[in-house]
Structure 1
Amino acid sequence: MPKISDEKRAARRAQILEAAWLCFQKQGLQATTMDDIIRASGLSAGAVYSYYPSKEELIVAAVTTSLIGLQERVEPILRSAPPSPDLFVEKITQAISDFTTRESYDLKRIALLGWSEAQRNERLRETIRGFYLAFRARLADVAVSWCNAGLLRKSASTSDVAKVVLAEILGFVVQSALLGDVEPRDMARGLQDLAAVEVDDGP
């Protein structure tokens, strides 16, 4: 029997993951069965199981693949000289929006399902946790650059700034998935307005 090329294997994996994401959005992670994914993929059961022996393996692969793809999108933004915090958040959230919005499903909605599943699936939790910890460390590096550029106080806690920026980015994902009325530019304008507030220290 002829061997399948690496390109063919990659295409098969992508085909199965596309079917999984579509089923996950329609039915949720727990309600979706391997049979659902097999039917949606158009492949045989043997073909699907040869790549992903169980639904748990498929869920972890789906989350890992989406996180790696997202990382590739935001990496150039993290590497380049960072703009002001508001423009940085706009660029990051726009990259997230461009990557996650697909023709038949939205990975932002599936992300919420993944976060929920991670509360009971330790392997998935560690996968997601590792990604976000690494991302937050990169955000702290960006905050250092803002301090050096005079965009933040020299005494600013860059680790705390990173936590706030990550909260804003994840908040964009949540609002987009649940409310659908938030755009990357909204996040930038909101940060601009917050930064413009003059705090009254009292008498």
Structure 2
Amino acid sequence: MPKISDEKRAARRAQILDAAWICFQKEGLHATTMDDIIRASGLSAGAVYSYYPSKDELILAAVTTSLSGLRTLMQPLFDVRPPLAPAEFLRRATETIARFTAREGYDLKRIALLGWSEAQRNERLRATMQGFYLAFRDQIEIVMEQAVEAKRLDATVSAKDAAKTLLSAILGFVAQSAILGDVDPAEIAAGVTAFAASGRS
């Protein structure tokens, strides 16, 4: 039997994950079955199970893949010089999320809410998410420390507090967009700017 190339293997994984995301958005994590995903993928049961032996493994892979992809797209925000001020960081971060999550046939922001819920019962999934969000928050904190040094953030503001607030706003953007659908990154940034200005008055 000929070996499958790494490129073909990656394409099949992506094909299965796309099918899973479509099914998850349509039916939810618990109602979706492996049979649903197999049918949506257009692959044989043997092919799907050879990559993901269970639905839990597939859910973990879906979350890991999406978080890894988002982390790659977010990285340039941490390398900007001079460092981004809080509102500008928030605007660019939420714009990146909006671009990354809008897919043909599904929206990863809506699926993120399902993942957050699933993480409350699935410790492995929760640990994966915690690792990503803690590392992301630490990176934001470094940017905020740099912003203080560059006088783009008031020196009286704790960089750690600023990072926690920005992460809360980013996750809130995901939730509001998924549920209400009427949130724009520029509006979020403008709100943060207005709050900051009102605190100085």
Q: How would you bin the TM-score normalised by the shorter chain?
A: over 0.9
Structure 1 window deviating more from structure 2 (28-37 vs 186-195): it is 186-195
Give, in whole Å, the separation in 2 of the partners of 1:42 and 1:198.
56
Deviation at 1:193, TM superposition (A): 1.1
Give the equivalent residue in structure 2 for 1:116. 117
Give the equivalent residue in structure 2 for 1:182. 183
Deviation at 1:153, TM superposition (A): 2.7
Give, in whole Å, the separation in 1 of the partners of 2:37 and 2:105.
15
Contact 2:52 2:58 in 1 (8 A): yes
Q: 1:93 is paired with a residue of what secondary structure?
A: helix
Give the equivalent residue in structure 2 for 1:147. 148
Give the equivalent residue in structure 1 for 2:103. 102
Amino acid in the other structure paired with 2:28: G
User: In the TM superposition, what whole-angstrom CA distance separates every residue of 1:6-27 from its partner, at most 9, and x where no partner exists?
Assistant: 0000000000000000000000
Give, in whole Å, the separation in 2 of the partners of 1:67 and 1:199.
36
Amino acid in the other structure paired with 1:27: E
Give, in whole Å, the separation in 1 of the partners of 2:158 and 2:183.
28
Matches within 5 A, 1:1-203: 1-81=1-81, 82-198=83-199
User: In the TM superposition, what whole-angstrom CA distance separates every residue of 1:45-102 from its partner, at most 9, and x where no partner exists?
Assistant: 0000000000000000000000000001100111212222111110000000000001
Give, in whole Å, the separation in 2 of the partners of 1:151 and 1:84.
5
Structure 1 window deviating more from structure 2 (142-151 vs 124-133): it is 142-151
Give, in whole Å, the separation in 2 of the partners of 1:154 and 1:175.
31
- Over 4 Å off, 4+ runs: none
Give, in whole Å, the separation in 2 of the partners of 1:198 and 1:44.
59
Give, in whole Å, the separation in 2 of the partners of 1:127 and 1:62.
11
Deviation at 1:191, TM superposition (A): 1.1
- With normalisation by structure 2, the TM-score equals 0.97
Amino acid in the other structure paired with 1:76: P
Amino acid in the other structure paired with 1:41: S
Deviation at 1:199, TM superposition (A): 5.6
Structure 1 window deviating more from structure 2 (146-155 vs 53-62): it is 146-155
Structure 1 window deviating more from structure 2 (40-49 vs 85-94): it is 85-94
Change (3 A) 1:198 1:130: closer
Ranges in structure 2 where 5+ consecutive residues have no aligned partner: none
Contact 2:85 2:153 in 1 (8 A): no
Number of aligned residues? 200
Contact 2:84 2:143 in 1 (8 A): no
Q: 1:197 is paired with a residue of what secondary structure?
A: helix
Give, in whole Å, the separation in 2 of the partners of 1:63 and 1:39.
21
User: In the TM superposition, what whole-angstrom CA distance separates every residue of 1:81-127 from its partner, at most 9, and x where no partner exists?
Assistant: 22221111100000000000011100000000000000000000000
User: Could you say what the CA RMSD is over the residues aligned between the two structures, in angstroms?
Assistant: 1.0
